[in-house]
């Protein structure tokens, strides 16, 4: 509303202030002019009375004197010439009919007016006897005589003059109020116009429009305020941009972190999370069978316990949790708000791979120790038998020496394969890729294992679908892979079984599958066949004399991946196993 605006309030304030001043001034002016007009009238008729008193001494004829008096006095006034008590009073005519009914003895009844006969000048306002008319009477003594001249006049003339004066004063006051109103609105709009623009600019700032500027129209305090407002807008834009950049930078850092980050307030409400933290929350909800997730408002019990401990002890707390087959380590640090803990930051790290690698390291040491213990024990035992002359004949000693030689070769193969695997895992694999005729390469591999397959009474097959005769690969490395796979297939296939080498090649992809109908691999062991020292269980071991080191498949996997290819396995227990290799034909 207008009355609630600054323009209305300022205009009304100025208007009320000027109106009050004009009201007080009008009252004083009316009083002043009323007194002034009365004094002027009294002085005027007093001067008339003085002139008439001088004329009384010069004229002895009453008629002639009264005629002269009519010329001297005002037509609306009346003159009474009063002598001592023994003479009659003379009255002049008057245009005011109210004064013609003046009693002849009312002056003698008024002690104050009677003083003029005694030689004093008198002035008095009174009510005309017998009427309600207010009159003004002045009296002056007659020089060198006993008597006085009285001039009396009604206040109607003064009232008329006062009315005219009042009219003029009210007109002037009205003009002043109109001019004040115009000036008030003009002044208020001049003052409030910049303020209104500042208000609009402030609303723009609240909407994020920091480029809004207030025009500087004056050099006074309002202009200084507008200048300060523009400077504030620039500073606010600068700080908001700095905060936004810092927030985006912090958000980018948190989002790019591999660890989960979660910010909590003192009450346990989740404020900020990143993707790994959300994954942890999803795993926790799934594990606890919670369907109503409600934007992750439910804090896990483990985190809530940590938060209570952090708030109470005001120190960093760490805990490890196993959830959905994964290991999580939570580190929670308190957040301070000057004097008290206002919340906490929880860093959630997935330690599954680290724990798995640690377990692999321990298993590796145990496996190597286990693999080396048997040949070392055999070497030690047979060598002691030779030293102690347990084998008496030359044939027995040669047999023992032959066993020692085989075990030493087995230890050598184990050590070499460990070294090769270590180099591969370190990325030190050098491939000599070349264009190879797939027909010749596969025929050479088949010929190498033909005798072994025939000895084990196993049928070795080779199915080929070669659309493109040339493949790009490292012959030695791929020979090592296929040798390992075919040898494993023959060793884990019973007699009368088969091992089929299925190959296809086109311009884009070389695919080789080693399929057998042997003992197969249990489903629970399939994810681990390419790990180091993996070995078949007793159900899959056909030839106990030919034991591997458990590193062949791990080496094969690294060699295939070095060719930017993939190796997969499909198997069913007691039905057979199929290893499939796919290598792109691009250098």
Per-residue pLDDT tens over the stretch 221-265: 777 878 888 888 888 888 888 888 888 887 777 777 778 888 888
Looking at residue 545, its pLDDT comes to 43
Looking at CATH, the fold of the domain delimited by 6-162 is given as Beta-Lactamase (3.30.450)
CATH architecture, domain defined by 434-584: 2-Layer Sandwich (3.30)
Q: Nearest Cα to 255, choosing from 280, 234, 277, 233?
A: 277
Residue 547: helix, strand or coil by DSSP? Answer: coil
Looking at residue 503, its pLDDT comes to 93
Question: What is the residue-wise DSSP string for 215-254?
Answer: ----SSHHHHHHHHHHHHHHHHHHHHHHHHHHHHHHHHHH
Count of C-beta atoms within a 10 Å radius of residue 27: 11
Q: Judging by DSSP bridges, how do beta strands 459-466 and 434-437 pair with one another?
A: unpaired
User: Any alpha helices (H) in 270-351, and if so which ranges?
Assistant: 275-287, 301-313
Residue 457 per-residue DSSP state? T
Query: Between the CA of residue 516 and those of 377, 462, 548, 552, 557, what are the distances in Å?
Result: 35, 12, 18, 18, 19
Q: Judging by DSSP bridges, how do beta strands 576-584 and 566-572 pair with one another?
A: antiparallel
Spatial separation of the C-alpha atoms in residues 520 and 572, rounded to whole Å: 5
> For the chain, which ranges sit under pLDDT 70?
1-8, 60-62, 64, 84-89, 91, 93-106, 130, 188, 288-298, 360, 363-364, 366-368, 370-371, 374, 391-392, 413-414, 417-418, 420-428, 532-550, 587
Sheet of strand 340-350, all strands in order from the earlier edge strand to the far edge? 270-273, 260-265, 340-350, 326-337, 317-323
- Give bridge partners of residue 327 from the DSSP assignment: 322
Helices vs strands, H then E, count in the chain? 12, 17
Segments making up each domain of the chain, as ranges? 6-162, 257-349, 355-425, 434-584
- Are the C-beta atoms of 461 and 498 separated by less than 8 Å? yes
**Which residues 6+ apart lie within 8 Å of 172 measured at CB?**
none
**pTM for the complete prediction?**
0.40
Looking at CATH, the fold of the domain delimited by 355-425 is given as Helix Hairpins (1.10.287)
**Which residues 6+ apart lie within 8 Å of 214 measured at CB?**
194, 197, 198, 201, 226, 229, 230
Condensed to tens digits (0 to 9), the pLDDT of residues 344-372 reads 888 888 888 787 777 767 766 766 676 67
Looking at residue 541, its pLDDT comes to 43
Looking at residue 567, its pLDDT comes to 92
Spacing of C-alpha 294 from chain mean position: 22
Looking at residue 538, its pLDDT comes to 41
Domains 6-162 and 257-349 share a fold: yes
Looking at residue 315, its pLDDT comes to 86
Spatial separation of the C-alpha atoms in residues 99 and 83, rounded to whole Å: 20
Q: Does domain 257-349 have CATH number 3.30.450.20?
A: yes
- Are the C-beta atoms of 568 and 579 separated by less than 8 Å? yes
Spatial separation of the C-alpha atoms in residues 120 and 114, rounded to whole Å: 9
Looking at residue 49, its pLDDT comes to 81
């Amino acid at each position: 509303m207008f009355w609630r605006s600054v323009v209305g309030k300022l205009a009304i304030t100025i208007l009320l202030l000027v109106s009050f001043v004009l009201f007080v001034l009008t009252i004083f002016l009316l009083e002043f002019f009323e007194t002034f007009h009365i004094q002027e009238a009294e002085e005027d008729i007093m001067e008339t009375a003085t002139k008439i008193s001088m004329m009384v001494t010069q004229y002895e004829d009453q008629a002639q004197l009264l005629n002269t008096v009519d010329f001297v006095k005002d037509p609306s006034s009346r003159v009474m010439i009063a002598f001592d008590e023994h003479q009659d009073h003379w009255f002049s005519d008057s245009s005011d009919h109210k004064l013609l009914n003046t009693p002849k003895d009312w002056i003698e009844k008024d002690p104050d007016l009677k003083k003029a006969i005694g030689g004093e000048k008198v002035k008095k306002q009174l009510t005309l006897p017998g009427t309600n008319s207010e009159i003004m009477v002045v009296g002056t003594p007659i020089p060198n005589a006993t008597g006085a001249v009285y001039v009396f006049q009604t206040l109607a003339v003064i009232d008329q003059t006062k009315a005219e004066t009042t009219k003029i004063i009210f007109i002037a006051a009205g003009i002043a109020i109109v001019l004040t109103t115009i000036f008030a609105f003009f002044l208020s709009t001049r003052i409030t116009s910049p303020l209104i623009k500042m208000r609009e600019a402030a609303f723009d700032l609240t909407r994020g429009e920091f480029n809004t500027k207030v025009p500087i129209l004056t050099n006074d305090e309002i202009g200084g305020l507008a200048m300060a407002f523009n400077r504030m807008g620039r500073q606010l834009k600068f700080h908001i941009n700095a905060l936004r950049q810092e927030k985006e930078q912090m958000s980018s850092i948190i989002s790019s972190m591999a660890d989960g980050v979660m910010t909590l307030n003192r009450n346990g409400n989740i404020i900020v999370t990143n993707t790994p933290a959300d994954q942890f929350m999803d795993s926790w909800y799934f594990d606890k069978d919670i369907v109503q997730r409600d934007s992750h408002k439910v804090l896990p019990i483990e985190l809530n316990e940590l938060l209570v401990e952090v708030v109470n002890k005001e120190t960093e707390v760490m805990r490890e949790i196993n959830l959905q087959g994964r290991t999580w380590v939570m580190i929670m640090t308190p957040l301070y708000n000057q004097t008290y803990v206002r919340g906490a930051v929880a860093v959630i790290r997935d330690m599954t791979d680290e724990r798995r690698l640690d377990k692999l390291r321990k298993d590796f040491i145990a496996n190597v120790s286990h693999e080396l213990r048997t040949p070392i024990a055999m070497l030690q035992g047979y060598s002691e038998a030779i030293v102690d002359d347990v084998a008496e004949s030359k044939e027995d000693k040669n047999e023992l020496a032959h066993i020692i030689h085989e075990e030493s070769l087995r230890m050598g193969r184990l050590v070499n394969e460990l070294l090769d695997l270590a180099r591969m895992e370190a990325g030190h694999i050098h491939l000599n890729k070349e264009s190879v005729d797939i027909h010749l390469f596969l025929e050479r591999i088949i010929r190498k294992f033909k005798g072994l397959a025939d000895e084990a009474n196993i049928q070795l097959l080779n199915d080929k679908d070669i659309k493109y005769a040339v493949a790009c690969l490292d012959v030695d490395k791929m020979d090592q892979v296929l040798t390992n796979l075919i040898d494993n297939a023959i060793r884990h296939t019973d007699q009368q079984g088969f091992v089929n080498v299925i190959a296809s090649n086109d311009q884009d992809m070389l695919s080789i599958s080693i399929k057998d109908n042997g003992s197969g691999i249990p489903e629970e062991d399939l994810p681990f066949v390419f790990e180091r020292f993996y070995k078949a269980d007793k159900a899959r071991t056909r030839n106990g004399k030919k034991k591997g080191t458990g590193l062949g498949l791990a080496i094969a996997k690294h060699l295939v991946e070095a060719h930017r290819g993939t190796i997969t396995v499909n198997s069913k227990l007691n039905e057979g196993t199929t290893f499939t290799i796919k290598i792109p034909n691009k250098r």
